[in-house]
Amino acid sequence: MTQSTSPAYQYGSIPVVTPDTHTNEQDESITHEEESAAFFHNDRRRGCRASGPILLATGIALLFLAGFYSTTSSTNTHKKKKMWQKVQRSPGDTPHYFSQKVDHFDSSNTDTWPQRYFIETKFFRGPGHPIILVVGGEGGIDTGMFYPFVDQYLAEHWGALVLHPEHRFYGVSQPVDPVTNEELVQLLTLPNAIEDMLAIVRRFKHQYQCNPDKTSPHYCPVIAVGGSYPAFVATLMRIHYPDQVDIAYASSAPLKLWSMEADPFGYMDVVTRVTDQVAPGCAQAVRETLAAVDRQIRQADEDYIHFARHDLNICPGTIPTYITNAELLSQEMMMIVGYTFADFNMFAYPPDHSTDLYDVCHHVFLNDHYKTPTEKLSQFWKYVEFYNDNLLDCFDMSSQLPAGHHASISGADWSGVGVGYDGMMFDFHCCSTLTPAIGFSHESMFPYRPWTLEWLTQHCERRFQVTPKPYKLLHMYHFDDLIRANATKILFTNGLNDMWSAGSLLESISDDLLVINMVNGAHHSDLSNHPDDHLDTPDVVEAHQQIRAVLEQWLQEIRDQQY
């Protein structure tokens, strides 16, 4: 089996929901609202970001667009229907709840809370067979399991049990509600989130009579699987809990992002490159459009609100109140365009004419029907509204805000923190310990805006009264040097069209720290399809074969130690 190597280049989610009403600026507690858990643009995204529900939403939005844009082909519509069928094939969609400790590391706190999880048992062949832990990420998992390659294909081949817990403080899994910023500092932590997931695994190991002794033939090896942020978590679980997690399969894991080693400009440079790859000429068209609109907004000066309403089709009364000048209006509009394209980039798979990325280029920025930059951006807003199921004649700019006090369109993660309650939680998450350094270079198709720790610190202290600690996780887990960390049996996979590949490991380190790259892949594309659906490009088909072979080899090595 050949392992992919690093390419010559080095490159390094879309929101929407309710505006921040600021009803009580003195109340610093944060209340989870049921309706916000229904929004799944988070993978954030991401992370990340639950690809199954996002792909489903994308399919629905594109089917609507097929009627709106007469040039959309029937072939593309057929592909989108196939996407729907693919997402529906996972049956593990019944939610269950597990009583978790609010704080695993405070013995004086005996409070518990119900953590939502999903379980697939139909393939499980009992003690001695694997348990696949699909790590929860930065968003609710309302639709159940959504990684058919893992929870259907691999589970069936291995006779595995599949568990998918929801990450604390996302979706309906709320340890404390309402919660204060001080409580989030203590409770929305990686150690607590990891212990949540391991507690669920231990419960089912006991329930299904798996022997805790690794030398027993009734031992159930645990494989932690994740995409994006959950891939990062799966990696850390394997490094620091090797007695409980035997193998990690980490797809689109941006380790270098959170070790602060990645090029901050690399991410949006990948978005630019892939945009031009999918629709030649689009990146330059976007660049020219945004430069012209940015210039016009700034020239409007004190009339910026009038210009936004009448020339850019922004709905009256929806410009967030914190935007008090033309420069900030332009900056936030450019941010919306940037993270929307980032979202389209993550799901530009297969890289053909069926993707949102191609559609927005073809129907908006490369469409000669729209003559001026303001016309093009106004049409782009319509596309964003359709993409997010908002059927408005104008663009509701406030729909881009996450929940909570002092919310802003530019959040702690410039690839998009998401919206609603989940968006607020991920904004806090990035403010406290996850520090995604992502900026816009001169070479990207977006106006230049460098990422700075100073800006992030101002944002986080104003919004949550917390100061970012970008190196805290690195000092805790030492994931910048996997050899020194004695890491073994971790498989990393990357789609080279995914912007997160800019912060990921692109070369194998050793025989049991392996990397498989997919030249046509986007954000954890290897997880999203069942091989029997025949939806994948040849490189991803080959990657599936390699992934299965690597993981089966490691499972066999574990069995070889049994007697």
Taking 70 as the threshold, does the pLDDT of residue 460 lie above it?
A: yes
pLDDT above 90: percentage of residues in the chain: 81
Look up the pTM and report it.
0.87
Domain ranges of the chain: 96-260+476-561, 265-469
Write the burial class of residue 309 (CB in 10 Å: 0-12 exposed, 13-18 middle, 19+ buried).
middle
Sequence-ordered list of residues with C-beta below 8 angstroms from that of 33, at least 6 positions apart, any chain = 403, 420, 421
474-505 pLDDT, tens digit each: 999 999 999 999 999 999 999 999 999 999 99
What mean pLDDT is predicted for residues 383-398?
Answer: 85
pLDDT of 29 reads 67
- The region of weakest confidence among 209-223, 378-392, 537-551 is 378-392
What mean pLDDT is predicted for residues 234-262?
Answer: 98
Closest listed residue to residue 330, CA positions, set 432, 409, 270, 437: 409
How high does pLDDT run on average in the chain? Answer: 87
- The region of weakest confidence among 18-27, 227-236, 479-488 is 18-27
pLDDT above 70: percentage of residues in the chain: 84
What mean pLDDT is predicted for residues 388-406?
Answer: 90
Categorize the per-residue pLDDT at 105 as very low, low, confident or very high, splitting at 50, 70 and 90. very high
pLDDT of 11 reads 22
Whether the CB-CB separation of 133 and 102 falls below 8 Å is answered with no
Taking 90 as the threshold, does the pLDDT of residue 339 lie above it?
A: yes
pLDDT of 91 reads 52
Taking 50 as the threshold, does the pLDDT of residue 5 lie above it?
A: no
Could you tell me the CATH superfamily of domain 96-260+476-561? Alpha/Beta hydrolase fold, catalytic domain (3.40.50.1820)
CA distance readout (Å), 47 to 35, 40, 143, 415: 21, 11, 17, 9
**From CA 363, how far away is CA 368, in angstroms rounded?**
9
